[in-house]
Amino acid sequence: TLRCEVLDEKAIVEQGLGLLHAVGKGAERPPRLLAIHYDGVSEGPVRCYVGKGVTFDTGGLWLKEGAGMYTMKYDMCGAAEMMEILEYLAIQKVEKNVMAVLMLAENVISPDAVKMGDVITTLAGKTVEVYNTDAEGRLVLCDGITFAQRMGARTVIDLATLTYSAQSALGDQVVALFGNDREALRIWEEIAEQTGEYYWQLPMGPIYHKMIEWSICADFANYAPGKGAGASVAACFLENFVEDGTQWIHLDMVGPSVVRKETDEMAEGASGACMSTLAAYLTGTSFC
């Protein structure tokens, strides 16, 4: 069975999802959180997928150039794929319990939009200084990761069109892979070899964590100006919200998420990157 819980803007504020609200509060269409539960068995662990669903991303006050904004309707691919995974589970009647948390917001310019220098309190109770309003994906995801853990998930996979740094490093066919469990990452890569999708693990660790600890008025900043390694910095930002005992995988898929020019195999548009590996993980080998 499928069950859906929707948090509207009022509930988002009341429950303390400060960063999701901050990203979406400038839009005419306010933010939403969708928690969709697939109950494949009566009992058992809950695996959670958290999807970035920025329905359009202007960059906010850190405004993108026109060419860079053209494809920003695809900035919700992570959340869209979570919906597709749930459809797959229901059709296949997979005997697993899965929750998809969709973090939905529109990042635009308005008098109410979040500003550089704003300090926001997250669902986890930690504070974040917004340096770059175009680094909004990590903001909505960290509240989603906390929400998933509060709902009982101890396996969390997040999927996002997160950083152009990942695309610069790996190109348009390889997804940047991060996580906090070596065995989980090893199994993920083995599954990917069978599905034919390409992933490459990028580094994390104290070097990158320190790059976002420069704020004098918050626990973290959301950006490391002039430091490089943007994909690793974003992953470490998210890791700050992963609790002890939670197995976590982060997939940064900016490059492979969109087919930018039609090929013999693929039409132009969203590609469904990671779908095959996500489906195989759920129906086959598990690290849980």
> Which residues are catalytic, by number?
64, 138
Cα atoms in the 13 Å half-sphere on the side-chain side of 78: 34
Residues recorded for the chain? 288
Q: Contact at 8 Å (CB) between 234 and 162?
A: yes
Q: Contact at 8 Å (CB) between 180 and 244?
A: no
Q: Which two tokens stand for residue 53?
A: 């669903």
Name the residue among 46, 43, 23, 47 with its Cα closest to residue 33: 23
Taking the CB of residue 5, how many other CB atoms lie within 10 A of it?
A: 13
Give CA–CA dist 189/274, Å, rounded. 12
Q: Which two tokens stand for residue 115?
A: 């500003």
User: How much of the chain is in helix, strand and coil states, percent to nearest 5?
Assistant: 35, 25, 40
Q: What is the distance, to the nearest Å, from the Cα of residue 74 to the centroid of all Cα atoms in its chain?
A: 13
